[in-house]
Structure 1
Amino acid sequence: MSNAQAPARSASRRPALLVAAVLGLALAVVIVVVTPWDLLPAPAGGRTPVDPAQAFTAEQIARAEDFTGQLRPASLTSLLLGLVVSAVFGLTRAGAATARAVARPLGGGWAWQVLLGGLAVLVAGRLVTLPLSAYGEMVRHRFGLSTRGWGLWARDVATSTGIDAGLTVLGMLALVALARRAPRTWWAWAGGAAAALVVVGSFLYPLAIEPAFNRFESMPAGELRTDLFALAERSGTPVQDVLVADASRRTTALNAYVSGFGSTRRIVVYDTVLDQLSAEEVESIVAHELGHVATDDVLTGTLIGALGAGAGVALLGWLLGSTPLLRRSGASGPGDGQVIGLLLFLLAVGTLLSTPVQNLVSRHVEARADLHALDLTRDPASFIAVQRQLGEANLSDPDPPAVWQWAFGSHPTAAQRVAFAEDWTRVRG
Structure 2
Amino acid sequence: MSPRRLALGTALVLGAALVVVLWLRIPWEATPTVTDPTAGLTADQVSRADAFAGALRPASLANTALSLLVAGVLGLTRAGSRLVTAAARPLGGGWAWQVLLGTVALSVVARLVTLPLAGYGEVVRHRYGLSTRSWALWARDVAVDTAITAALTALGLLLLVWLARRAPRTWWAWAGAGAAGLVVVGSFLYPVVIEPAFNSFTSLPEGQLRTDLLELAQESGDPVQDVLVADASRRTTALNAYVSGFGSSRRVVVYDTLLQLPDAEIESIAAHELGHVATDDVLTGTLVGALGAGAGVALLGWVLGSTPLLRRAGADAPGDPRVVPLVLFAIAVGTLVSTPVQNGVSRQLEARADQHALDLTDDPDAFADVMRRLAVANLNQPDPPAAWQWFFGSHPTTAQRVAAAAEWDR
| TM category, shorter | over 0.9
2:80 pairs with 88, 95, 99, which one?
95
User: d(CA) in 1 for partners of 2:18 and 2:179?
Assistant: 15
1:371 alignment partner in structure 2:
355
1:44 alignment partner in structure 2:
none
1:7-59 deviations in Å (ceiling 9; x for gaps): xxx9310100110111111111211222101279xxxxxx6434232421111
Aligned to 1:53, the other structure's residue is in SS state coil
The answer to whether structure 1 residue 192 and structure 2 residue 177 are counterparts is yes
2:24 alignment partner in structure 1:
33
1:401 pairs with 385, 389, 395, which one?
385
1:24 pairs with 15, 18, 22, which one?
15
Mapping 1:14-413, distance limit 5 Å = 14-38=5-29, 48-275=33-260, 277-413=261-397
Aligned to 2:253, the other structure's residue is in SS state strand
Query: Contact conserved, 1:39 with 1:368, CA < 8 A, in 2?
Result: no
> How far off is 1:267 after superposition?
2.6
1:186-232 deviations in Å (ceiling 9; x for gaps): 00000000000001101110000110011111221100001111010
User: d(CA) in 1 for partners of 2:39 and 2:244?
Assistant: 33
RMSD between aligned alpha carbons?
1.3
Structure 1 residues 268 and 345: alpha-carbon distance in aligned structure 2, compared to 1, 3 A threshold = same
Query: Contact conserved, 2:33 with 2:400, CA < 8 A, in 1?
Result: no
**Please, what TM-score do these two structures have when normalized by structure 2?**
0.98
1:235-281 deviations in Å (ceiling 9; x for gaps): 11132222211110000000112334344433321110002x10000
Aligned to 1:243, the other structure's residue is in SS state strand
Query: Contact conserved, 2:265 with 2:366, CA < 8 A, in 1?
Result: yes
1:321-375 deviations in Å (ceiling 9; x for gaps): 0001000000001100111110100011011111110011100000000000000
Query: Contact conserved, 1:240 with 1:263, CA < 8 A, in 2?
Result: no
User: d(CA) in 1 for partners of 2:247 and 2:6?
Assistant: 39
Aligned to 2:401, the other structure's residue is in SS state helix
User: d(CA) in 2 for partners of 1:208 and 1:311?
Assistant: 27
Query: Contact conserved, 1:90 with 1:329, CA < 8 A, in 2?
Result: yes
User: d(CA) in 2 for partners of 1:265 and 1:328?
Assistant: 45
Query: Contact conserved, 1:48 with 1:422, CA < 8 A, in 2?
Result: no
Query: Contact conserved, 1:20 with 1:311, CA < 8 A, in 2?
Result: yes
Query: Contact conserved, 2:39 with 2:398, CA < 8 A, in 1?
Result: no
Query: Contact conserved, 2:200 with 2:231, CA < 8 A, in 1?
Result: yes
Runs of 5+ in structure 2 lacking a partner?
Answer: none
User: d(CA) in 1 for partners of 2:18 and 2:267?
Assistant: 35
Structure 1 residues 77 and 184: alpha-carbon distance in aligned structure 2, compared to 1, 3 A threshold = same
User: d(CA) in 2 for partners of 1:285 and 1:126?
Assistant: 34
Aligned to 2:2, the other structure's residue is in SS state helix
Aligned to 1:399, the other structure's residue is in SS state coil
Aligned to 2:254, the other structure's residue is in SS state strand
Query: Contact conserved, 2:201 with 2:229, CA < 8 A, in 1?
Result: yes
Moved more, 333-342 or 238-247: 238-247
Q: How many residues matched?
A: 410
Query: Contact conserved, 1:50 with 1:416, CA < 8 A, in 2?
Result: no
Runs of 5+ in structure 1 lacking a partner?
Answer: 1-9, 41-46
Moved more, 254-263 or 134-143: 254-263
Counterpart AA for 2:21: V
Counterpart AA for 1:222: G
Query: Contact conserved, 1:95 with 1:341, CA < 8 A, in 2?
Result: yes
Moved more, 313-322 or 397-406: 397-406
User: d(CA) in 2 for partners of 1:314 and 1:54?
Assistant: 44
User: d(CA) in 1 for partners of 2:237 and 2:72?
Assistant: 36
User: d(CA) in 2 for partners of 1:177 and 1:36?
Assistant: 40
Aligned to 2:58, the other structure's residue is in SS state helix
User: d(CA) in 2 for partners of 1:279 and 1:366?
Assistant: 21
1:7 alignment partner in structure 2:
none
Percent identity of equivalent pairs: 69
User: d(CA) in 2 for partners of 1:310 and 1:166?
Assistant: 21
User: d(CA) in 1 for partners of 2:34 and 2:364?
Assistant: 17
User: d(CA) in 2 for partners of 1:337 and 1:53?
Assistant: 53
Counterpart AA for 1:59: D
1:75-134 deviations in Å (ceiling 9; x for gaps): 000010011000011000011100111111111111111111111111101000000000
1:43 alignment partner in structure 2:
none
1:150-196 deviations in Å (ceiling 9; x for gaps): 00000001111111111111111100000000000000000000000
